[in-house]
Structure 1
Amino acid sequence: MSEAPPHTLLRPAIALPFLLVALIWGSTWFVITTQIAAVPPAWSVTWRFVLATPAMFALALAMRKKLAMPGRAHRLAVLMGLFQFCGNYMFVYWSELHLTSGIVALLIGMMLVPNAILGRILLEQAITARFLIGSVIALAGIGLLLLNEAHTAPLGGNVALGALLALTAMLSASIANVIQAGPAGKDVPLVSLLAWSMLYGVLFDAAIAFALFGAPEVPGDPAYWLGTAWLALVGSVVTFPLYYDLVRKLGAGRAAYNGVLVIVVAMAVSTVLEGYHWSALAIGGGALAMVGLLVALRGRQVKACS
């Protein structure tokens, strides 16, 4: 192991996928809002990964990666499917019934906090004082944004419930991020691990959707399926291999800078397409959140594989 070079993010091989993932994920938050009106959110999540799963297996085959994995890798894939491709997305979709997509993206961006805590517990990664200070600043900004949301509530939803659902989604994704960084995940091809994780995840998704809402609901609107295809093929199959590769090359701390750009893109999209109102309270909260996130990220001790 060696210290990551200070200007790693400026290399095109790193910067281009870094920016691409941020732009794509920043746009997906709004697209999700078009998926939760036609059918129950649980079925929309299911349809997303019904499309994404075979595409990820096809990508693994196209890259000539072995699909066979040892038992411990499959056990990891089951957990990743449960936490990343089921729990995370189920709670994200449900949260967008109550909050604007930009706010949900911002709450998910706070994944730095549970990542640091779980990384300390499970991977023995240090938590710096600078990271703690940045997290406090960012949480204060989140509080101001949610206070503004409670005053305006443009979706007419339950702001407290939406925030709770988004935070649960964040925690679920954080668990998946941390557990995939262990030896079981590094011993197998990344795209193969993701393919099996998506397969297990979509099985969980379908079971939950059927249990809660009964027989599958299949929309007939072509626009719905265009949105689903974007979320599945571009927002999942393209981005997850790129993002997890960045995590392996940069370390979780530097890769998490991506979340800051995702928030900026998502809030901009929400402003244009959802009419998000930037009051003085919201501007102050957004500024605090960005400052806190940047301070926290700069405080991470980053290691890269030599």
Structure 2
Amino acid sequence: MTRASVSRVVLPFAAVTLIWGTTWYVIKTQLGVVPPQWSVTYRFAVASLLMFGACIVMRRTLRFPLSAHGFFLLLGLFQFAGNFNFVYQASRSITSGLIAVVFALLVVPNTLFARLFLKQPISGRFMIGAGLGIVGVALLFERELTETGWSAAFTTGLVLTGCAVILASVSNVMQGTERARTYDMFGMLAFAMAYGAIIDAGVAWATSGPPVVEWTPAYLGGVFYLAAFASALAFLLYFNVIRIIGPAWAAYSSVLIPFIAMTISTFLEGYRWTPVAVTGAVLTIVGLLIALRARSVPAGTAAAGGTTGRS
């Protein structure tokens, strides 16, 4: 693996995985007083303001043709509105662990959509690695899965999470297109997050009434962390990785994030590892190593999941 590959892909990928692995713990500070729809709205409203500020400071362009704003609006609708609102609604019916297991499947639609719409090859070794990783995540949450009874609410939660996965996958594949590469990443995210926040606000007002804010350091600090690090910075890095290596390989972060979250919970919340969970962690890591060896990551490539050499 070249030094350019490490700096352009591996380090950003690792940073995104670590950041999003911490969000489960931080999101707990957002639950309670404020309806979740409004918390999502605040998150992306602040994130968009930060991105606009970065564009001004770095003198990035904010001038785009009208057709570009149509692209940004769809990205905001799919990623920053639909995806997150479906997830928050699903969390009312099923556990966060089960949502994590379903989201680990993101690598599947990303790979299929990349093959269908971007004509990017699918590596058998990559799919084996992804499969092992998904099984590993399921074992991490084996207790939650076995204790969850089947009901109408359970079915609703699964369907909502599935919708969130599909919308996230569509937005991921949008970043792998040649059209997306013509737009400056900073300006694109600024507008997409702004459009997403506007849609979120409409959904929040319609479902939960006027805005509610919890004026505590924990809540406000959580909003800032989720906006600045888990949104502005993380999506900037993640979408750039997608543009380089494609949506399939980048989606492997969804397999690793639950493992990172459980590790953090071990130190901060006293989570106790069972033999089944340890087995799941091992499978997750083994799956990652197999997926990594399924392709190299040469700078400037855009193939997803294809076998182009060894890392």
* TM > 0.5 fold call: yes
Of all paired residues, the percent bearing the same amino acid is: 41
Q: Which moved more, 1:222-231 or 1:82-91?
A: 82-91
1:76–1:184 CA contact under 8 A, matched in 2: no
Q: Does 1:34 align with 2:40?
A: no
Please report the RMSD computed on the Cα atoms of aligned residues, expressed in angstroms.
2.9
1:61 corresponds to which residue? 56
CA distance in 1, matches of 2:14, 2:35: 32
Distance 1:149 1:275, change over 3 A: farther
Q: Unmatched 5+ residue regions in structure 2?
A: 302-311
Distance 1:163 1:194, change over 3 A: same
How far did residue 201 of structure 1 move?
0.5
1:101–1:267 CA contact under 8 A, matched in 2: no
Q: Does 1:133 align with 2:128?
A: yes
The superposition leaves residues 251-277 of structure 1 with CA deviations (integer Å, 9 ceiling, x where unpaired) of: 445544544553432121233344544
1:132–1:296 CA contact under 8 A, matched in 2: yes
TM-score (norm 2): 0.82
Q: Does 1:118 align with 2:117?
A: no
TM-score (norm 1): 0.83
Q: Does 1:203 align with 2:203?
A: no
Runs of 4+ displaced beyond 6 Å: none
Q: Does the residue aligned with 1:47 lie in a helix, a strand or coil? A: helix
Distance 1:134 1:23, change over 3 A: closer
- Structure 1 residue corresponding to 2:236, chosen from 216, 241, 244: 241
Q: Unmatched 5+ residue regions in structure 1?
A: 1-5
Please give the residue correspondences for 1:124-273 in structure 2 after superposition, counting only pairs within 5 Å: 124-151=119-146, 162=157, 164-256=159-251, 258-259=253-254, 261-273=256-268
1:42 aligned partner, one-letter code: Q
Distance 1:84 1:298, change over 3 A: farther
1:235 aligned partner, one-letter code: A
CA distance in 2, matches of 1:276, 1:290: 19
2:309 corresponds to which residue? none
In the comparison of the two structures, how many residue pairs are matched? Answer: 297
CA distance in 1, matches of 2:253, 2:16: 8
CA distance in 2, matches of 1:140, 1:241: 29
How far did residue 68 of structure 1 move?
1.5
2:169 aligned partner, one-letter code: S
CA distance in 2, matches of 1:274, 1:121: 43
Please give the residue correspondences for 1:73-92 in structure 2 after superposition, counting only pairs within 5 Å: 73-92=68-87
The superposition leaves residues 216-235 of structure 1 with CA deviations (integer Å, 9 ceiling, x where unpaired) of: 22222231111101101122
How far did residue 162 of structure 1 move?
5.0
2:178 aligned partner, one-letter code: P
1:60–1:66 CA contact under 8 A, matched in 2: yes
